Amino acid sequence: MLTRRIIPCLDIKDGRTVKGTNFVSLRDAGDPVELAATYASKGADELVFLDISATQEKRKTLTTLVRSIAREINIPFTVGGGISTVEDVGALLDAGADKISVNSAAVSEPRIINELSRAFGAQCIVVAIDARKVDNQWLVHTHGGTKPTAHRLFSWAKECVERGAGEILFTSMDHDGTRKGFAIDPLLKLHTLLPVPVIASGGAGSMQHFVEVFTLARVDAALAASIFHYREIEIPDLKLDLRKNGINVRL
């Protein structure tokens, strides 16, 4: 039976963990190295690190911070933000990342997905997609959610996989930070459409929301930030609740 994954996310700005609502109104959520170590010790299955302002500020991901986090954890570690070349990925993997996540660079130059997949293997490449509903269409946004594009969520996700993405991380911008639950319908469609794992992001506010996203949307993993950062839900408690609801997780 497939084991579902629980993934805390560290959104990083100016070297600190931050969290907002609908990609704005950011507030401090703590030291990323300390948070990462805590999550690893409490049973998180993986960790995602997103340098959310790297693309907007036209700079590379904070490699030194990546290295500091990698020293403190023993779980798979995905890093994203400001990645646009094979050399960028090589530096992050050398710093301790296990997988990398591309978003804006993939939209502006889709061939980068092919290049990275050939160089490092599909299992190393996560394509993150931020989208919100506009005129009844899920439109992809880039640059930390600040720039709308002409890409539609489902066709873009399919193209990413065809180009070599090993996983898709979908964040509903409409649900992000609202704590009202994940975007079940588009997540189920992605799960049905794609032959690779789908990670759900945006909207977690209760244990029941995780139960729903695993049972109704059938995703492979669920990612959350603020409810973990502010200790509103503890990962061991969440996993026990999921087990009670018949969802297979690693305890």
Q: At 143, give phi and psi (nearest 5°).
A: 55, 55
Residue 27, pLDDT score: 53
d(C-alpha 225, C-alpha 68), whole Å: 20
Low-confidence residues of the chain: pLDDT under 70: 1, 14-30, 52-61
| Catalytic residue annotation | 11, 130
Residue 60, pLDDT score: 54
d(C-alpha 118, C-alpha 164), whole Å: 8
Residue 52, pLDDT score: 62
Q: Which two tokens stand for residue 66?
A: 């990546």
d(C-alpha 202, C-alpha 169), whole Å: 10
Look at the block and give the residue holding tokens 């790297």: 54
Fold (CATH) for 5-244: TIM Barrel (3.20.20)
pLDDT in tens, 185-241: 999 999 999 999 999 999 999 999 999 999 999 999 999 988 998 899 999 999 999
Beta strands 16-21 and 5-13: pairing type? antiparallel
Residue 96, pLDDT score: 95
Q: Are 87 and 68 in contact (CB under 8 A)?
A: no
d(C-alpha 164, C-alpha 34), whole Å: 33
Length of the chain: 251
d(C-alpha 214, C-alpha 223), whole Å: 12
d(C-alpha 239, C-alpha 248), whole Å: 9
